[in-house]
Amino acid sequence: MRHSLLVRITHWITALSVAGLLVSGVAILIAHPRLYWGETGSFETTSLIDLPLTLTYGHSGWGRYLHFLSAWISVLTGLVYVMSGFINGHFHRHLLPSRADFALPATGSPLSYNGLQRLTYLGVVFILFPVIVATGLAMSPAITSVLPWLAIAFGGHQSARTIHFIAASLITLFVLVHVTMVTLAGFGARVAAMITGGREAVEEHA
């Protein structure tokens, strides 16, 4: 399977902006590493999760600036990727699994994704990303002045923050597994394929 130019460009912009989001997200989180459920929460109330992170002030200024810049880049790139993926059939051809993709022992080409990989990619694109964007917006007092149901749907301001953290953790887990699998499959060749597009599958079989 050859990666299209659009997939390659959006992949690397997304990789960079997600790196920016994770670094800045941690910078924001360590100013208050406690998570709550409901609308409100503070050091004076009971928490849902106390993260084993040292409380550190002084990083959320640049952290927030980088977080929202990266978020804009990530969201705009994601929109281009998703819209073009529907138009050119990328999701249908490369990511929508068929029963054969789950067959054991694997019968499909090792150069195409198996069923679990396909479901994971679709889950990240169509569940995790929308959830993390929506919970991010649900924490904005200006956005919820226009869309109050956004905060209510997630169970409140603090619940949205907690779900935002869980979704970020799952995306981090995805990135770790993704990079591990790329490394096992041959880091140099896989990264090169995502830069140049890679050779046609037919040629690789030859």
Identity of the residue, 70 or 120, whose beta carbon is nearer to another protein in the bound complex: 70
54 makes contact with another protein (CB under 8 A): no
Distance in angstroms (rounded) separating the CA atoms of residues 107 and 160? 42
- In the block, tokens 């929506």 appear at 134
Contact call for residue 145 and another protein (CB under 8 A): yes
SS3 assignment, position 174: helix
Q: Is 57 in the site for another protein (CB under 8 A)?
A: yes
DSSP-derived 3-state class of residue 139: coil
With residue 34 as reference, give the H or E element that holds it: strand 34-35
- In the block, which residue shows the tokens 């198996």? 114
Contact residue for another protein among 21, 32, 113, 154 (CB under 8 A)? 32
**Quick one: 4 or 140, whose CB is closer to another protein?**
140
74 binds another protein (CB under 8 A): no
Dihedral sign from CA coordinates of 116, 125, 112, 204: negative
Q: Is 164 in the site for another protein (CB under 8 A)?
A: no
DSSP secondary structure of 137-182: HHT-HHHHHH-HHHHHHTTSHHHHHHHHHHHHHHHHHHHHHHHHHH
CA 76 to chain centroid, in Å, comes to: 14
Closest approach of another protein to the CB of residue 87, in Å = 25
DSSP single-letter state for residue 54: -
Tell me how far, at minimum, the Cβ of 148 lies from another protein, in Å. Answer: 5
Which window, 71-79, 101-109, 114-122, 178-186, contacts another protein (CB under 8 A)?
Answer: 71-79
Which CB, 68 or 121, lies closer to another protein? 68
Which of the ranges 69-77, 94-102, 179-187, 194-202 carries the binding residues for another protein, by CB under 8 A?
69-77
Site string for another protein, 124-143 (x = CB under 8 A): ---------------xxxxx
160 binds another protein (CB under 8 A): no
Token pair belonging to 142:
């200006």
148 near another protein, judged by CB under 8 A: yes
Residue by residue, DSSP assigns 1-22 as -PPPHHHHHHHHHHHHHHHHHH
Beta bridge partners of 50: 34
Token pair listed for 190: 């896989």
Binding site for another protein (CB under 8 A): 28-29, 31-32, 34, 39-45, 57, 60-62, 64-66, 68-73, 139-146, 148, 151, 157-158, 161
